[in-house]
Amino acid sequence: MDLNDTPEQAEYRTKVRTWLEAHKADAPGLEGPQPGHEEAFVTVRRAWQREMAEGGFAGVTWPAEFGGQGLGPLDQVIVGQEFQAAGVPGILDVIGIGMLGPTIIAHGTDEQKQRYLAPMLHADEVWCQLFSEPAAGSDLAGIQTRAVVQEDGSWKLTGQKVWTTNAHFASYGLILARTNSEVTKHKGMSMFIVPMDAEGVEIRPLRQITGEAEFNEVFFDDVHIPADAIVGPVDGGWMVALTTLLFERLAIGGGSESFGYRADRFAKAIADDPVASADSDVRHRLGKLATDLLALRYTGYRHLTAIERGGLPGSEAALGKVTAVKAAIEAGDLIADVIGPEALAEGEWAYLISFLPGLKSAGGTEEILRNMVGERVLGLPTEPRLDKGVPFSELKALEREGAKS
Ligand SMILES: Cc1cc2nc3c(=O)[nH]c(=O)nc-3n(C[C@H](O)[C@H](O)[C@H](O)COP(=O)(O)OP(=O)(O)OC[C@H]3O[C@@H](n4cnc5c(N)ncnc54)[C@H](O)[C@@H]3O)c2cc1C
């Protein structure tokens, strides 16, 4: 690929810079929510996303008819690069705009697109992704939350989700629920839109090592879901979920250069410490990290070019996510060794060291993604599967037999 901007891209970059010069003063800081001040964080970040949307910098790749700019992924990268260079944050609702909005655009009805996409873009309504359950993460198709159809065509939803990012301030969630247990597990699920303030929805925050509570457990007790809240076909929810997961992997691994951490930022922190900067092991680790970060950047560009040319990234894109998270963890270890425990207290490195390792699980764990690459890219034999061809309702009995033998 050509690494220089095309004339159109250079023009777009100038447009982003000009807008940033005029609006940068309104931007909040880069730090995440501070314990006890989460609400204030959400309020200022909502206002900033709204300003970005009005300037045309939220939903850059969304079609224009839904309030987006109809531009390509490389234009989105330009926005990311310029916001990063200006030291200002991006959108608040990364899950909504990056993953759930595109899912509704791909599978939703015209009414759903008209109703939900504009408020999502302007952060008037933030969204959450209700997929994982206590016994269904990597094996997402094992979900047990049920939606039962009622006589009038509406649904009753019962079950529990976990690790739901942003549920505590989300207006809506996209929820994967089982609608038919008498078919194989991938075939009996459907996707629904659920208002997070509906009767029977209970949200309990989960506090993390970072001190914040970004995740939640969400319980559903006979929640009424209208018939027109289904996204995609009845029992066809797996295909809808795959669309979300594809966008999730792209968001985490795709073009991000290890989450905005460039080798020069680490080099500066190390150079400030005369003992560490003279240590050959530290210098060796920094060199390796710099190489990994560069490789990530160029691999990310290759994926983006493939998408720009109309293709979809293959399963090998999974390696981008694995490598990006590994680089973040290695960088955190290096900085923690150089600066010591106070690096965790707060400030520039605390998020890198305490939060980013959790991304090993988000959007597919390393083991699952490596399995995917082994099977679909390298052509290795597939994992043994006991659930093939077995209706979901019989899987529990199979598990019990397996546990006995
Ligand atoms: C930062 C973050 C944000 C998240 N946000 C959301 C959200 O908003 N909404 C949501 O629905 N979920 C969310 N999740 C949950 C995430 O999707 C799950 O953590 C992920 O799918 C893994 O599932 P699990 O945690 O249940 O781990 P498990 O699936 O229980 O895995 C446990 C371990 O076993 C290994 N393992 C499992 N199966 C296999 C296998 N077949 N072969 C080899 N090894 C295997 C895994 O690799 C892992 O190491 C989030 C997670 C994180 C960390």
pLDDT band of 257, cuts 50, 70, 90:
low
pLDDT (tens digit per residue) in 313-366: 667 677 888 888 888 899 999 999 999 888 887 777 888 888 888 888 887 898
Record the pTM: 0.91
Angle between helices 280-308 and 317-339 (to 10 degrees): 150
Q: Name the residue of 94, 163, 189, 388 to mutate for ligand 1: max ligand atoms within 8 A of Cβ.
A: 163
Q: Which atom of ligand 1 is nearest to the CA of 95?
A: 8
**161 Cα–ligand 1 center, Å:** 13
Q: Is the shortest distance between the CB of 358 and ligand 1 below 6 Å?
A: yes
Per-residue confidence (pLDDT) for residue 313, from 0 to 100 = 64
Catalytic residue among 125, 133, 248, 257: 248
**Residue 399 has what pLDDT?**
64
Q: Is the pLDDT of residue 395 over 90?
A: no
More confident residue, 322 or 238: 238
What is the mean pLDDT of the segment spanning 21-48? 88
Question: Which CATH code, of 2.40.110.10, 1.10.150.20, 3.40.50.300, 1.20.58.220, is assigned to 127-235?
Answer: 2.40.110.10
Q: Please give the Cα distance from 243 to 253 (Å, whole number).
A: 16
Confidence check: pLDDT of 249 > 80: no
Higher pLDDT, 126 or 293: 126
Question: Within 10 A of 341 (CB to CB), how many other CB atoms are there?
Answer: 8
The CATH code for residues 254-377 is 1.20.140.10
CA-358 nearest atom, ligand 1: 53
Q: Per-residue pLDDT tens for 76-114?
A: 889 988 998 898 999 999 999 999 999 999 999 999 999
Q: Cα separation of 157 and 215, whole Å?
A: 21
At residue 302, the pLDDT reads 78
Q: Whose CA is nearest to atom 23 of ligand 1?
A: 137
Instruction: Please give the Cα distance from 315 to 370 (Å, whole number).
Output: 10
Summary mean pLDDT of the chain: 89
Is the distance from the beta carbon of residue 96 to the nearest atom of ligand 1 less than 6 Å? Answer: no
Per domain, the residue ranges of the chain are 7-92, 127-235, 254-377
- Ligand 1 binding pocket includes 137 (Cβ within 6 Å): yes
CB atoms closer than 10 angstroms to residue 268: 9
Report the separation in Å between the CA atom of 313 and the middle of ligand 1, taken as the mean of its atom positions: 22
Q: Is 248 a catalytic residue?
A: yes
Q: Is 351 in the pocket of ligand 1 (CB under 6 A)?
A: no
Q: Which atom of ligand 1 is nearest to the CA of 134?
A: 26
pLDDT of 46 reads 97
Give 29's pLDDT tier (boundaries 50, 70, 90): confident
